[in-house]
Chain A
């Protein structure tokens, strides 16, 4: 669901959450869970970590919803929480993207199953698997702000102005970060792109 649609519903939900209604919170979670997962996944590159980050973001949202004054759009406020949680996670943990991600199955907490990371689905790999994998690693190795701006712009489809609102900076700054990210990626991928 597009975050910009149903703004009135959002406002109603937020008011319900402020009054302590958990059902309103559950509805808001359902509204934003996939979008939040996309952002967290783009930044950390792992579905299990992205899930944990998103849960932390929703907890923070619930605990701090009283501070949301509706001066900005709700989705930029929520995306900021997700981005901050993701960056905190990356600060704590330097991660190398695995080919497979681990996910606990439904029957046993201790037993784990391996599911293929969607980035390495055969259809996508057929196009240019080596370039795709290297690109993922290169994006992961970008400086923090360059990576955040690039991922929000090109993997989550936010405009420069929306990213500026999420990161609380000027649109020109976002443009500079994306421009530098692009140049860095070109340099790192020069062997593949030539």
Chain B
């Protein structure tokens, strides 16, 4: 039924007596005719009733006397030792100091071990460099033009070989 979509949104409010008289009457009319919505309302009613039965125990005077004694002790501890609060704050920072220490150790160790570490990326770069040098070398040998010879002479001149 199309109107079920709208009514189902109002079922909880209906159960909670949060609907106006007119709206409640419309919901009631629909529920009388619709077993699905009636079933859903009944489920909600059971849940609310069962939840309402869960109450905290109502302890006797002895419980409350002990409660009061413990409360006084805790309050006095808190009142006379305000330093504890600072200690607790400092304790909260302990993990942060520990993490910072571990991080510093790792950074120092990585710096120390860096020269001994061979990275695969460097190998690849080296191979690429050798190939490029070979290419340049081949080009240099193959070009036998006057311009190339002049270039070679200039390079050797700059290097102080001639």
Contact = CB atoms under 8 A, between A and B. Distances in A.
Interface residues of A, number: 43
B66 A155 contact: no
Contact of A185 (B47, B58, B68, B74): B47
Interface string A113-143: 0000011000010011001100110010000
Given A26-B68, A33-B64, A132-B54, A59 B78 contact: yes
Interface in B25-51: 40, 43-44, 46-48, 50-51
The interface centre, meaning the residue of B53, B64, B70 with most chain A CB atoms within 10 A of its CB, is B53
Contact of B67 (A55, A132, A182): A55
The interface centre, meaning the residue of B12, B40, B47, B64 with most chain A CB atoms within 10 A of its CB, is B47
Main secondary structure of the interface of B (DSSP, over half): helix
Given A47-B56, A118-B55, A189 B12 contact: no
B74 A182 contact: no
Interface stretch (A37-45, A67-75, A87-95): A37-45
A58 interface: yes
Interface string A57-79: 01100110000000000000000
A189 B47 contact: yes
A55 B51 contact: no
Given A29-B71, A33-B67, A63-B78, A154 B58 contact: no
A108 B64 CA distance: 17
A150 B56 contact: no
B115 interface: no
A34 interface: yes
Contacts of A160: 18
B75 interface: yes
A1 interface: no
Given A178-B12, A193-B43, A155 B54 contact: yes
A59 B68 contact: no
A54 B64 CA distance: 12
A106 B66 contact: yes
Interface string B79-112: 0000000000000000000000000000000000
Contacts of B70: 55
B120 interface: no
B62 interface: yes
B52 interface: yes
Contacts of A154: 48, 51-52
A174 to B, nearest CB: 11
A40 B56 CA distance: 9
B67 A193 contact: no
Interface of A: 26, 29-30, 33-34, 37-38, 40-42, 47, 50-51, 54-56, 58-59, 62-63, 106, 118-119, 124, 127-128, 131-132, 135-136, 139, 150, 154-155, 160, 175, 178-179, 182, 185-186, 189, 193
15 contacts: A29-B71, A30-B64, A33-B64, A34-B56, A37-B56, A38-B56, A41-B56, A47-B56, A47-B59, A54-B67, A106-B66, A154-B52, A175-B13, A178-B12, A186-B43
3 residue pairs, one from A and one from B, having the closest CB atoms: A41-B56, A118-B57, A38-B56
